[in-house]
Structure 1
Amino acid sequence: MEKHMENMAMENMEKNMPEASLEQHQAALYTLLCELDTVCRKLEIPYQLFAGSMLGAVRHQGFIPWDDDLDVILMREDYDRLLAEADAVLDHSRFFLQKEFSSHWPMFFSKLRLNGTTCLEKFHPKDTACHQGVYIDIFPCDNASDNALMRKMQFYASKFVVAKSLYRRGYETDSMKKKIFMQLCRCLPLQPFLSLTKLAGRGDTQYVHSFLGGASKMEKSVYRREWFDKQIPMTFQDGAFSVPAEYDALLTTLYGDYMELPPEEDRKCKQHAILVDLTHSFEEYEHFRDGMTFDILTRSIR
């Protein structure tokens, strides 16, 4: 009887689901960006828009029209400071800083989440206490060795970190190769691979990397350190936010001819989430994904 009532309640929720439009979702992401910017200004911590968000600022002066996420990146020292000091100035009534490798969040990067909202992604979380509100991604930028072979070892080490974290969070794939790799990684200790990936204390190298930013190709994730030395403000929606002064070199590395729009048929949202609700908290959707299977989309947002 209790299960039947639960199913009826879920059916009623689905019928009356106030799902957000892409424009409404982007407006929520912009709210999160403004709060992050406020926090970083108060703490005097530099950050930059990154990847598709940097491309959006340069090419569209805001979101790529079909984009549904927002990424920022910080040098590892600044990233660690943000995680250590942000709680003192963050508006906790509205926002939640989901820190890497923290309680209920086993991932290798961080997120700023909007309280009282829902953003259900395409996986079944193993920890239902995980905050699943609308979010922006906060990635670290780590030291990369000047030795090409060592950089390759760092890249492969990052794959172990990613796979181990995804297994703990919950990750579904039809690839037998990925399943075997994840099972192997779950048995191995995290710290040696994470240490190699970060190469802490080597701020004298010529290169940095974003391997822990979901990199699929090594050559698109290694950058000259000086590309991040200076930031400039750039219009993004109704405000101005930091991008690297060397954004042209970065965007060319990431996307090639980045000012050229993709073919119209490719201008589609990646659809990170199966549901975005800006008026109800994720706790109300605890069993929403039960029994669902997902087609994970991985194409570039360009």
Structure 2
Amino acid sequence: MNLHNEHEILLKLLDEIQRILEDNNIPYFLIGGSAIGAVRNGGIIPWDDDIDIGIQREYFTGAVQALKQNCQSKIYIPSSKGEYILPFAKVVKKIPGEEVIDSETNINGAYIDLFPLDHTSNSEFGRLIHYFLFKLGHKIVVSKIKPEFLNNNLIDKLIYLTTSKLSIPIIFKLRDYYIKFGASVFGESNTFFNFGSPYGLDKEIYYKNEILKTQSMDFSGRKVPIATGYDRILRRTYGNYMVTPPKGRQHQKHLSEENKDDIL
């Protein structure tokens, strides 16, 4: 896989997404490794292979609708049809002449992830309950759509037996309910969580005063917004993110057809 080609595709896709979101007055900002790239590298981290965008839940549906209507690339969204099980959206663009496979979904192409940021509890215990409910809901979805990913333990076996009797739309509604009930229970909270995060409880939380405003940063020749509280957010998630990790800890999430069985 040629990361230079992929980065060029990603940046063109980012330009398109930024234009659509800004034309529709939808606030957004770079998060995760992309925010690190903006701060530390002035662009995409050299070994990274995607771009991450955060959007508060109240704007997320509008963002997805605007992209579906105006974006020329394929968009995968959380749905009840069963073909895509992640709780966030992916905007995907093929790379001419290359097969680039996302190891998590088997989607082929360069992609930008759009993560909805949901209200959650201001208290650690409340967040624990909310996170547990989400993990249970997502496990229900996995047991129905990709049962081969389940563990061979009693809990997973019971979940599988239960979900086998439920329809696909019902189980997706259950999963989404566990996430979105936070809007009604915690709708006035000052704490947000990225339920699509791979980092676990309380690693990728966002406090309102950290994301209320954004600032522009250079990102490979264009301006991108990041949250003004980016330093606190990134240190909470990654520790000392300004230190470049040793080569052995640099990894890509995409796998080409030639190396998809390698350990990265």
- Give the alignment's TM-score, normalised by structure 1: 0.73
Q: CA deviation at 1:220?
A: 0.3
SS in 2 for 1:142: strand
Amino acid at match of 1:274: S
- Match for residue 23 of structure 2 among 23, 42, 47: 42
In the alignment, does 2:214 pair up with 1:231? yes
Amino acid at match of 1:101: S
Q: CA deviation at 1:121?
A: 2.8
Tell me the matched-pair count. Answer: 253
Written as runs of structure 1 = structure 2, the 5 A alignment for 1:188-227 is: 189-198=171-180, 199-201=182-184, 202-211=186-195, 213-227=196-210
- Match for residue 59 of structure 2 among 56, 75, 78: 78
Structure 1 pair 296–259 and aligned structure 2 pair: CA distance change class (3 A): same
Q: CA deviation at 1:192?
A: 4.0
Written as runs of structure 1 = structure 2, the 5 A alignment for 1:72-221 is: 72-90=53-71, 92=72, 95-101=73-79, 103=81, 104-115=83-94, 118-122=99-103, 132-167=108-143, 170=146, 176-177=152-153, 180=157, 183=160, 186-187=163-164, 189-198=171-180, 199-201=182-184, 202-211=186-195, 213-221=196-204
Q: CA deviation at 1:269?
A: 2.5
Task: Tell me which residue corresponds to 1:269.
Answer: 251
Q: Quote the Cα distance in structure 2 between the aligned partners of 1:123 and 1:296.
A: 14
Q: CA deviation at 1:83?
A: 1.5
Checking the alignment, whether the CA contact within 8 Å between 2:103 and 2:253 is kept in structure 1 is: no
- Match for residue 40 of structure 2 among 42, 59, 62: 59
In the alignment, does 2:231 pair up with 1:248? yes
Q: Quote the Cα distance in structure 2 between the aligned partners of 1:155 and 1:73.
A: 18
Q: CA deviation at 1:86?
A: 2.8
Q: Quote the Cα distance in structure 1 between the aligned partners of 2:220 and 2:260.
A: 35
Q: Quote the Cα distance in structure 2 between the aligned partners of 1:50 and 1:221.
A: 10
Amino acid at match of 1:183: Y
Instruction: Provide, for residues 190-242 of structure 1, a one-character-per-residue CA deviation record: whole Å limited to 9, x for no partner.
Output: 4344323221244310211012x233321202221221111111111121111
Larger Rg over CA atoms: 1
Checking the alignment, whether the CA contact within 8 Å between 1:157 and 1:194 is kept in structure 2 is: no
Q: CA RMSD in A?
A: 3.0
- Tell me, which stretches of 5 or more residues in structure 1 are unaligned? 1-19, 126-130, 277-291, 298-302
- Give the alignment's TM-score, normalised by structure 2: 0.82
- Tell me, which stretches of 5 or more residues in structure 2 are unaligned? none
Amino acid at match of 1:135: Y
Amino acid at match of 2:254: H
Instruction: Provide, for residues 151-198 of structure 1, a one-character-per-residue CA deviation record: whole Å limited to 9, x for no partner.
Output: 111111221233344455648659535965873684574434432322
SS in 2 for 1:153: helix
Structure 1 pair 124–24 and aligned structure 2 pair: CA distance change class (3 A): closer
SS in 2 for 1:66: coil
Q: Quote the Cα distance in structure 2 between the aligned partners of 1:258 and 1:249.
A: 11
Task: Tell me which residue corresponds to 1:4.
Answer: none
Structure 1 pair 173–192 and aligned structure 2 pair: CA distance change class (3 A): closer
Q: CA deviation at 1:116?
A: 6.9
